[in-house]
Structure 1
Amino acid sequence: MVKTAGVKKGDIVSIHFTSRTLEGELFETSKNEEPLKIKIGDGKINPAFEEALTGMTVGEKTEIILPAEKAYGEYKKRLIFKMRKSGLNLLCDPNPGDIVSIKLPTGQKSLVSVVEITKKSIKVDANHPMAGKDLKYELELLEIQE
């Protein structure tokens, strides 16, 4: 059932969102895609989003600013490291700035940014591209379902 009252815990909402750095650099938007569906209170989205959406009504828009530590975390220098090229099984030779998938020592796969390449090694950055950046989110509530 579609409702018109404000969002509360347990509701399923459809939203459009846009995220930017505070300098205005666009990071992500859902405007050209299907709206994002979220169940309020299930813990699958950032708690700041749930808090901002709670009480909103259909058609309402809001903006929130997330400091880096509440968005994608602080930039960590320890997530920049060198690996031997021979153990990477890359399908092609990457260039600095490319994003590649690697297998971490833990066995998990991770997307990393190539920083530097030598004959025998590759230096990568495993930080999220938005790590260390404060982000502004624009949220638009499209629908509420109980």
Structure 2
Amino acid sequence: MNALPIGPNTKVTLHFALKLGSGDVVDSNFEADAAQFTVGDGNLLPGFEEALFGLIAGDEKSFAIPPEKAFGQPNPNNVQDVKRDEFAADFPLEVGLVIGFSDAAGAENPAVIRSFDDQTVVVDFNHPLAGETITFDVRIIDVAPVVTH
């Protein structure tokens, strides 16, 4: 193991878990192959990357990432009313159901059904983890310099 600390121009291999305040695990790869990312490549939110700075291979840590550095605070403008008839008549609406909507560019955006009646479906386009403080557990497997040519 080397002692190169995580920072700019490093490639990181790690196991991680994301947990809610309740302790519920949202995502984890501790039982799977380790993940790899290069600092600054956009695969990890900046708030999560910053928490890792200075760690070296072999380190195991747990961080509380506030909403502002994780998935943001919910924006009330992202909660929208959609006409019920825009959904197929046999579509099984359910409060809490995460569904995908395509935007004008064709990108898929997840949204959560908050409520519905015969006329209207209230759809929340905020990230499902917006407003949550996330516990970020990590085990650093390797830190390597990014090789540029």
Relative to the length of structure 1, the TM-score reads 0.81
Alignment-mate amino acid for residue 119 of structure 2? K
* Structure 2 Cα separation of the partners of residues 42 and 75 of structure 1: 25
Which secondary structure does the structure 2 equivalent of 1:52 belong to? helix
Query: What are structure 2's unaligned runs of at least 5 residues?
Result: none
Aligned counterpart, 1:101: 100
| 1:18 corresponds to 2:12 | no
Over the matched positions of the two proteins, sequence identity in percent amounts to: 21
Q: Offset at 1:91?
A: 7.1
Aligned residues: 144
Q: Distance in 1 between matches of 2:76 and 2:108?
A: 19
Structure 1's unaligned 5+ residue stretches are: none
**Contact 2:98–2:110 under 8 Å retained in 1:** yes
- Give SS of 1:57's match: coil
Alpha-carbon distance in structure 1 between the residues aligned to 2:89 and 2:70: 31
**Residue identity opposite 2:23 in structure 1:** G
Does residue 5 of structure 1 match 2:10?
no
| Root-mean-square deviation over aligned CA pairs | 2.5
Instruction: Please give the TM-score of this superposition, normalised by the length of structure 2.
Output: 0.79
8 A Cα contact 2:111 2:128, kept in partner: no
Residue 88 (structure 1) shift: 4.0
8 Å CA contact retained: 2:113, 2:121: yes
- Work out the CA distance in 2 between the residues paired with 1:117 and 1:66: 32
Relative to structure 1, the CA distance from residue 9 to residue 107 in structure 2 (aligned partners, 3 Å threshold; closer, same or farther) is: closer
Measured against aligned partners, the alpha-carbon deviations of 1:78-117 in whole angstroms (never above 9, x if no partner) come to 2222111333458723222211122457765321111222
Q: Does 1:27 align with 2:17?
A: no
